[in-house]
């Protein structure tokens, strides 16, 4: 009885490891992929009723993949760092013959005939896929509300949102149910769940990761990227999925050298720009104090803090919204005409607004992007190497307060939720969501590190340097696999 209890404790302890740490144990055959996968599945079974991060769990398929991974390890045929690691991904990525709901009633029983490029690359790296994660319907919504499959909940406090639209990814990674996830981001949908759940999220440059084989939200803005517990793990996943794909018309052929190999570079003299005219003045004294402390850490490890002025993000925010809603309206036009009542109220409200935006305004918003990016680079990145911004201007809100039926607060709060993230998508810049502390309510506080296009390695190196001297990413939520 005692030995069984000790074994169970050891399995739970495995769930607190990073991808990097677990990979070492798997290669040494100190633990098997089946054992780790079973530990994840057991934890999911216990926490799914409370947090609701999964839409479907593929237990049998995952265990088969784990056994194949173990057999390969025995033969010395290890595919890389992700070999045998249990992951799960936002339920918009198609896997041939497997259900992909996109968080919707309309695609509740959709079985695609293709597999997404990102999943093909994850498979080629030897990872184990545990299933499809919850999300705001069709990626529409920054809070993760979903009337069809139930709202996903924050493991730090289940009364609060886990962020959207990749809500299940943020919640499951933070709760130690999986080791990492691929989400999508159109205006904050990787960064917000990562930030609200106290984990790491990387929004790559538009075109750096293939969009092929997934449900689109907005072609001009969509990006796919990792959500993980550590920056090093984000680099591992990003290395696995980045690269040109001729099947994706948005894909860009750029350097795909390993970000992991660059993590240990010195950041001494790296200029971090802190905006003095926007975003920071809107923070409460409590949140500002947390950010000030994080900036002190960056200074202590060798970075140079530079006070800068930046373009008004509200103007960029408005142009982002125009593109987002018009393209979503076009993508969904047939379903809106034939199955309007099958949408969440919040989803149809945001999508249908696209029909009221003129073609002139849409093209104007597209045409302004190049000039906006040029102006942003001139104003910001001539003064600094990386821009530091808050991720949220408010504390993580509750599920009740952000319900669209709560007319007293929902609209205003949702705007504040996306105020610091959506505009970044317009200028197409890579961004790292990084946990930097907690509010007095015990909820995570996170920052955004933003850099020029195709410089994800710079963000990851800076974020990893921060995590080497801080411990925020190692703090365990009260509602996690480690506390069962």
Active site residues: 90, 165, 189
Residue 239 to residue 184: CA distance in whole angstroms: 16
Residue 125 to residue 83: CA distance in whole angstroms: 6
- Ranges of beta strands (E only) in 106-231 are 128-133, 180-185, 200-203, 223-228
Q: CA nearest 384: which of 240, 234, 271, 267?
A: 271
Contact (Cβ atoms closer than 8 angstroms) between residue 107 and residue 101: yes
Contact (Cβ atoms closer than 8 angstroms) between residue 428 and residue 369: yes
What is each CA distance from 274 to 46, 67, 105, 194, 395, in whole angstroms?
43, 49, 43, 21, 20
Q: CA nearest 125: which of 238, 45, 208?
A: 238
Q: Which residues contact 222 (CB under 8 A, 6 or more apart)?
A: 184, 185, 186, 206, 211, 216, 250
Radius of gyration of the chain (CA): 21
Residue 177 to residue 484: CA distance in whole angstroms: 12
* 313 SS3 class: helix
Residue 445 to residue 289: CA distance in whole angstroms: 11
- Ranges of beta strands (E only) in 366-443 are 386-390, 431-438
List 260's β-bridge partners, or say none: none
Residue 33 to residue 23: CA distance in whole angstroms: 10
Contact (Cβ atoms closer than 8 angstroms) between residue 480 and residue 174: yes
Residue 465 to residue 199: CA distance in whole angstroms: 16
Residue 279 to residue 365: CA distance in whole angstroms: 23
**Helix residue ranges per DSSP H, 377-409:** none
Residue 266 to residue 465: CA distance in whole angstroms: 8
């Amino acid at each position: 009885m005692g030995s069984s209890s000790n074994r169970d404790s050891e399995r739970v302890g495995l769930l607190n490891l990073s991808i990097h740490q677990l990979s070492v144990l798997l290669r040494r055959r100190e633990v098997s992929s089946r054992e780790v996968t079973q530990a994840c599945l057991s934890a999911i079974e216990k926490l799914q009723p409370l947090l609701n991060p999964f839409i479907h769990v593929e237990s049998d398929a995952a265990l088969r993949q784990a056994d194949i991974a173990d057999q390969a390890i025995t033969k010395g045929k290890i595919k890389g760092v992700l070999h045998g690691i249990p992951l799960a991904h936002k339920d918009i990525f198609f896997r041939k013959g497997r259900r992909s709901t996109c968080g919707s009633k309309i695609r509740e029983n959709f079985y695609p005939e293709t597999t997404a490029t990102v999943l093909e690359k994850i498979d080629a790296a030897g990872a184990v896929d545990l299933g499809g994660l919850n999300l705001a319907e069709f990626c529409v919504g920054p809070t993760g509300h979903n009337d069809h499959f139930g709202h996903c909940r924050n493991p730090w406090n289940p009364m609060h949102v886990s962020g959207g639209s990749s809500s299940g990814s943020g919640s499951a990674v933070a709760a130690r149910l999986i080791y990492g996830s691929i989400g999508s981001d159109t205006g904050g949908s990787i960064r917000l769940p990562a930030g609200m759940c106290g984990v790491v999220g990387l929004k790559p440059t538009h075109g750096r990761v293939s969009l092929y084989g997934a449900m689109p939200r907005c072609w001009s803005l969509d990006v796919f990227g990792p959500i993980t517990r550590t920056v090093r793990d984000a680099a591992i996943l990003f290395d696995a999925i980045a690269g040109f794909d001729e099947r994706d018309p948005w894909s860009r052929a750029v350097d795909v050298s390993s970000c992991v190999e660059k993590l240990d570079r010195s950041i001494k003299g790296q200029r971090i720009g802190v905006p003095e005219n926007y975003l920071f003045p809107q923070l409460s004294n409590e949140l500002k104090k947390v950010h000030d402390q994080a900036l002190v850490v960056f200074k202590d490890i060798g970075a140079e803090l530079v006070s800068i002025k930046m373009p008004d993000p509200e103007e960029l925010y408005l142009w982002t919204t125009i593109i987002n809603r018009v393209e979503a309206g076009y993508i969904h036009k047939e379903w809106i005409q034939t199955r309007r009542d099958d949408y969440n109220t919040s989803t149809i409200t945001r999508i249908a607004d696209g029909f009221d935006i003129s073609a002139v305004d849409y093209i104007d918003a597209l045409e302004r992007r190049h000039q906006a990016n040029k102006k942003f680079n001139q104003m910001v990145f001539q003064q600094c190497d990386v821009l530091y911004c808050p991720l949220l201007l408010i504390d993580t809100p509750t599920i009740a307060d952000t319900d669209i039926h709560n007319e007293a607060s929902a609209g205003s709060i949702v705007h504040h939720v996306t105020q610091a993230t959506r505009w970044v998508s317009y200028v197409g810049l890579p961004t790292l969501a990084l946990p930097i502390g907690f509010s007095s309510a015990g909820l995570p506080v996170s920052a955004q590190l933003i850099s020029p296009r195709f410089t994800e390695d710079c963000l990851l190196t800076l974020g990893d340097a921060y995590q080497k001297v801080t411990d925020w990413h190692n703090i365990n939520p009260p509602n996690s696999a480690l506390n069962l």
